[in-house]
Structure 1
Amino acid sequence: MIAIYFTLTLLLGFLGLYTLKSWFIPLNSCPLPPGPPRRLVIGNLFDFPKPGSKEWEHWLKHKDLYGPISSLVTMGQTVILLNKPKVAYDLMEKRSAIYSSRPQAVFSADLANWKRQVTLNGDASVVRTHRKYMTSLIGSKNAILNLHPQLDLGARHFLLQTLQQPDSLIENIRRVTGARILDMVYGYKVEPSGPDPLIDLADLSGKQFSSAAQTGTWVVDSIPILKYLPAWFPGAGFQRTAREWGHVLTTLAEKPYAFVLHQRSKGKDVASYVSRHLDALDGPVAPDEEFVIKWTAATMYGGGADTTVSALSTFFLVMAQFPDVQRHAQAELDLVVGPRLPTMNDRPNLPYVHALIKEVMRWHPVVPLGVPHMATEDDEYCGYRIPKGAVLIANIWSFTHDPEIYNEPMSFNPGRFLQHEDGIAPECDPQKLVFGFGRRICPGRFLADASLFLTIAKSLAVFDIAKGLGEDGKEVDLPAGFRPGIISHPSPFRVQIRPRSGCAQMLIGSVEAEEPWLKGHSKVFDDIKL
């Protein structure tokens, strides 16, 4: 009991210090950007979104109430909301030297130790090193050219899996997306059917990351002193959660790396990101080099798989929801490609399909609020003060639904990105918004772009996508909602997927004879002990 009272006394003391810090502003200082009134001690603690809510919708009201930039303060931590893309460009692009760090949230970065992944790491030198390593595989359009054969084969395998199991659409997307990246990064072959231990592990870690990195979800992020509470203390269950999630992340980084070392020891390794970096070393791998290889590999899977799953899931949802758009894209494919499957070489001649992919990315951005940035110096913008250590959140969903940028933004209209005969220019390319800003722009954007094109173009060429049927044989309405999380997925939905013709069915099945999906490495992976 004495320990509990002592802990509570410490907490109250630190709360007082945070309050003094947040309310003390030099007389000659600019004001913070506008925002909701602050309460004594807790500031804007109750103005953050509630766990389980759609954060992008919660913050959308700030644009109407406070303008292009707004702020909140809680327990001494300032949060700056960027409600217009111009503000995001001005700060994160033009002043990237001081806005490229990441906030080190107590729960995700400290307790769960997610800062080992460069996505959440705030150290500029670490970020440069890790991104330099990843660039060799996915960081440029030229690098992605070498991956086109793997991506094309993966898209064909997806068609076959979906033909055979049309009711397992999301599982098919997850398996094939994961298989492509794991093959590129580790030379690991995913099982063609049934559970795969590495896919399951990565999916679990991805879900945990999406929850861990949400701003305002964990009270310990607002009251950092709580991190010193023991796990048994009432209300300190976050300690156990962070420890468990950190262990999952460690396994995700360590075990696939150990798989590559095992395969190399047996002379069975194949070309992969990890193997190429190990081959390039002169002599035994040093601990610091091993750390970079291991954690950049884990970052590429974690950052590339779940985001692609979200985008492809949204594509199938909107194709069932907007059949006229689907038919328009199919007509273009039939005219340009004819009775074969489209390839990357066809892309320049498929402007509507290309525009459709852009509209999928705009209609619901995969990461609606981006990943927060942090100011490393005191700054001033438009007469407002941005203090050192402030967390910056760009509401990307708000950007892509801004009626000043996109005409009728709630409508799904790929035509907005086409050049019109009357001279009206295409609307803003959403790729300038959805992949982040400045020095922290997504390093896998070229891989995502190529992967989405191949899977979407091939799917449209051979499948008709429609709303699912209920027990009465009538079409079932599709949910319009998306789930919360730093990576947002559509709410569960059901669609019908059928081959467009007998010729289309033969095209899909040809991959089984030409390049079948062989048995994977799950048994080897399971046998590896850390």
Structure 2
Amino acid sequence: MGVSVTTSLLTAWHAAAVILFLLIIRGAILRKRRGPMPPGPVGWPIIGNALDIPLNHSWKTFAKWGERWGNLMSVVLLGQPMVIINSYKHAYELLEKRSAIYSDRPHMVMAGDIVGWDQILVLLRYGNQFREYRRLMARVLGSRKSVEEFVPIIEEQTAKLLARLLREPASDLPSQIRKMTGSIVLMISYGYEPQENDDPLIRMADEATEQAAEVAQPGAFFVDVFPFLKYVPSWLPGAGWKRKGERYRANMDQMSAVPHQFVKDKMAAGTALPSFTSTMLAGSLAPDEEYRIKMSAASIYSGGADTTVSAELTFILAMSLWPAVQKKAQEELDAAVGHDRLPTYADVVQLPYLNAIYLETLRWNQVVPLGVPHATLEDDVYEGYFIPKGSIVCINQWNILHDPEIYADPFTFNPERFLSGHGKEPELDPRKVAFGFGRRICPGIHLAESSVLMVAAMLLSVFNIKNPLNEHGIPITPQTAEHTGGTISHPAPFTCTIEPRSDKAKALILALQERS
């Protein structure tokens, strides 16, 4: 048995060496034929730049490299070319104007073949199935008007958050935000109202999306470079990554199947609430049609569960760090809404300063700092540089949104930059960057906007947010505010004081608490 395993491993490594050699030769031939790839740091033989890219906060490394090699760079990861875009100009020219070439996703063996996230829209390869998912989701999320149907859900769940924060002011704020956001996406996707404490579907979504962020990082797993390793038996010593992938696959399958079956059972009993899934399942469907509905709903569910949480926590941190901004927003709310009721969505869309705060929240801490990697569907030549078919293309959204040539004083939280007046034009709308580019733009852009704006308006109308402390109890300042690494970035753990603004505000919240 031992000899057999050793022989198999030696054969596998021999095959890997041959594949790498062929990739290097092919790359050299293509570069000679079509021109050089964009410049970048010189890598090591065979492994290329695989050891140069950190797994956390790699966008800062790419930004630093850009100072030397320019805003269009390339590296090679064990034979796999990767193009890094550090500027809005190059991102727009390639991903918008040439979207027919740049709309694919990389073939991620760990995240896709093993864990199954390539069946969720965010990592789905470009093609007919991708277009069908987008068509289905556009029916409920495709415009501000279509999302307005879900405003009562957003308002109700945000009001419940206010009541919980008054009842448990020292509670875990990220958990409270996750519960609210999870409730919104579950009700929209499945008509499922989560239970008050430790709901299994919210827990399932949180776990699955955290795992997706882990496995989707380029270069995080050796199997993404050597795809044949996916055939390694999970019992083999050293194959812990394979066992992890199988566990993650089971979680992903559950995340899509359990709520889908919940809706089918409710429909059979005649008790289903209106939702994306119940609407789409009406009528006779072929199995492949039902599968697309199931995975489209899971895409809404998983896509909104963590990204919106990040934006809402960033907003709360920013308000505690910039009290003058908070005060100005509260003055606008008081003038437009008064003190006798909570703001509604109809109020929110007419509050320019609050809307500017939302835009600055997107810009100040990018939820997905490197976006989700694109891949090229064919060879391309751009500004004299050759970009081969199958290249991974990373957009350094963090760098674009902190570019001093676009945003004055980019590390300061300043909503005024998005307001016109006094002879100046607003700076670049960060939605043009933060939600992706071209045919891969996030389909939940309008839902995310409605959700974050309602949280901002309702929180500031009745609460004061102040005194941010890190997890060690040390005061945070704008200069020391940190954000996590990984695919989705959150504010680093912090605590803050959230107190009612007045007795009248407290009475408004108590009235909500009695109804919830």
Question: TM over 0.5, yes or no?
Answer: yes
Deviation (angstroms), 1:156? 1.2
Instruction: Give 1:307-318 correspondences, 5 Å limit.
Output: 307-318=307-318
C-alpha distance in 2, partners of 1:395/1:158? 33
Match of 1:264 in 2: 267
Q: Which residue of 2 aligns with 1:296?
A: 296
Match of 1:153 in 2: 156
For the Cα contact (< 8 Å) 1:319–1:466, is it kept in 2?
yes
Structure 1 pair 63/499, CA: closer, same or farther in 2 (3 Å)?
same
The residue number in structure 2 matching 1:399 is: 400
What SS does the corresponding residue of 2:260 show, helix, strand or coil?
helix
Name the CA distance, whole Å, in 2 between partners of 1:301 and 1:190. Answer: 13
1:123 is matched with 126
Change in 2 beyond 3 A, CA 1:451/1:57: same
Give the match for residue 486 of structure 1: 487
Which one-letter code corresponds to 2:193 in the other structure?
K
Distance 2:402 2:471 in 1: 36
Give per-residue Cα distances to partners, 1:123-147, cap 9 Å, x unaligned.
3111100011111111111101211
Taking structure 2 as the reference length, what is the TM-score of the superposition?
Answer: 0.95
Deviation at 1:58, TM superposition (A): 2.2
The letter for the 2-side match of 1:221 is D
Alignment correspondent of 1:351: 352
1:197-276 counterparts in 2 under 5 A?
Answer: 197-276=200-279
- 1:19–1:42: 8 Å Cα contact kept in structure 2? no
Q: 1:428 to 1:12 in 2, by over 3 A?
A: same
**17-26 vs 153-162, greater mean Cα deviation:** 17-26
Distance in 2 (alpha carbons) for counterparts of 1:231 and 1:148: 46
Following superposition, the deviation at residue 33 of structure 1 comes to 0.5
Alignment of 1:482-521 (within 5 A): 482-513=483-514, 516-517=515-516
From 94, 97, 104, give the equivalent of 1:94: 97
Contact 1:321/1:466, CA 8 A, preserved across alignment: yes
Match for residue 113 of structure 2? 110
Q: 1:179 deviation in Å?
A: 0.6
Structure 1 residues 92 and 341: CA distance shift in structure 2, 3 A: same
Q: In 1, distance between residues paired with 2:155 and 2:414?
A: 27
Structure 1 residue 44 and structure 2 residue 49: aligned?
Answer: yes
C-alpha spacing 1:223/1:471, structure 2 compared with 1 (3 Å): closer
Aligned residue number for residue 165 of structure 1? 168
Q: CA–CA distance in 1 between the matches of 2:101 and 2:489?
A: 28
Q: Is the contact between residue 320 and residue 465 of structure 2 (CA under 8 Å) also seen in structure 1?
A: yes
Alpha-carbon offset, residue 390 of structure 1: 0.3
Q: Counterparts of 2:107 and 2:169 in 1: how far apart (Å)? A: 42
Q: Is 1:408 the equivalent of 2:409?
A: yes
Moved over 6 A (4+): 469-472
Output one character per residue of 1:382-434: Cα deviation in whole Å (capped at 9) or x when no partner.
1100000000000000010001110010111111111122x111111101110
Deviates most, 304-313 or 2-11: 2-11
The gaps in structure 1 that reach 5 residues or longer are 518-530
Query: Which residue number corresponds to residue 451 of structure 1?
Result: 451
Structure-2 change in CA distance of 1:476 and 1:125 (3 Å): same
The separation in 2 between residues aligned to 1:344 and 1:182, in whole angstroms, is: 20
- 1:38-85 deviation line (CA, Å, top 9, x unaligned): 222112221222x3x212212222211210111111222111101111
Q: Does 1:6 align with 2:8?
A: yes
1:46 alignment partner, SS class = coil
CA distance in 2, matches of 1:170, 1:471: 13
Q: Report what 1:132 is aligned to.
A: 135
Inter-CA distance 475–121: structure 2 relative to 1 (3 Å threshold): closer
Aligned-pair Cα RMSD in Å: 1.8
Contact 1:15 1:75 (C-alpha < 8 Å) held by counterparts? no
Aligned residue number for residue 364 of structure 1: 365
Deviations 1:262-312 (A, max 9, x none): 112222111111111111x2x3x3210110111111110100121111111
User: Percent of aligned positions with the same letter in both sequences?
Assistant: 41
Output the amino acid matched with 2:175.
E
With over 3 angstroms needed to count, the CA separation of the structure-2 counterparts of 1:65 and 1:198, relative to structure 1, is same
Query: Relative to 1, partners in 2 of residues 1:337 and 1:475: Cα closer, same or farther, differing over 3 Å?
Result: farther
Structure 2 unpaired stretches of 5+: none
The SS at the match of 1:28 is helix
Distance 2:354 2:236 in 1: 55
The answer as to 2:392 corresponding to 1:387 is: no
Amino acid at match of 1:5: T
- Structure-2 residue corresponding to 1:185: 189
Equivalents in 2 of 1:359, 1:398: separation in Å?
A: 15
8 A Cα contact 1:45 1:222, kept in partner: no
Q: 172-181 or 258-267: which moved more?
A: 258-267
| 8 Å Cα contact 2:470-2:476 kept in structure 1 | no
- Among 3, 18, 36, the residue aligned to 1:31: 36
Alpha-carbon shift at residue 348 of structure 1 (Å)? 4.5
What is the CA deviation profile of residues 462-521 of structure 1, one whole-angstrom value per residue up to 9, with x for unaligned ones? 10001157999x9733661111121111111000000000111122222234xx34xxxx
Q: What is the Cα deviation at residue 22 of structure 1?
A: 2.3
SS in 2 for 1:366: coil
Number of aligned positions between the proteins: 507
Instruction: Give, in whole Å, the separation in 1 of the partners of 2:237 and 2:84.
Output: 33
Distance 1:362 1:468 in 2: 20
SS class of match (1:495): strand
Q: Residue 297 of structure 1 aligns to a residue in which SS?
A: helix
Deviations 1:81-112 (A, max 9, x none): 01111111111110111111111111101111
Please state whether the residue corresponding to 2:29 is helix, strand or coil: coil
Structure 2 counterpart of 1:528: none
The answer to whether the Cα contact below 8 Å between 1:370 and 1:393 also exists between their aligned partners in 2 is: yes
Match in the other structure for 1:521: none
CA distance in 1: counterparts of 2:297 and 2:408, whole angstroms: 40
C-alpha contact 2:190 2:263 (8 A) present in aligned 1 = yes
- Does the 8 Å contact 2:300/2:444 carry over to 1? yes
CA–CA distance in 2 between the matches of 1:470 and 1:80? 36
The 1:189/1:391 distance shift into structure 2, 3 A limit, reads same
Give the Cα–Cα distance (whole angstroms) in 2 for the partners of residues 149 and 471 of structure 1.
35
Q: Is the 8 A contact 1:175 1:199 kept in 2?
A: yes
The alpha-carbon deviation at position 20 of structure 1 amounts to 3.1
1-structure distance, mates of 2:34, 2:342: 62
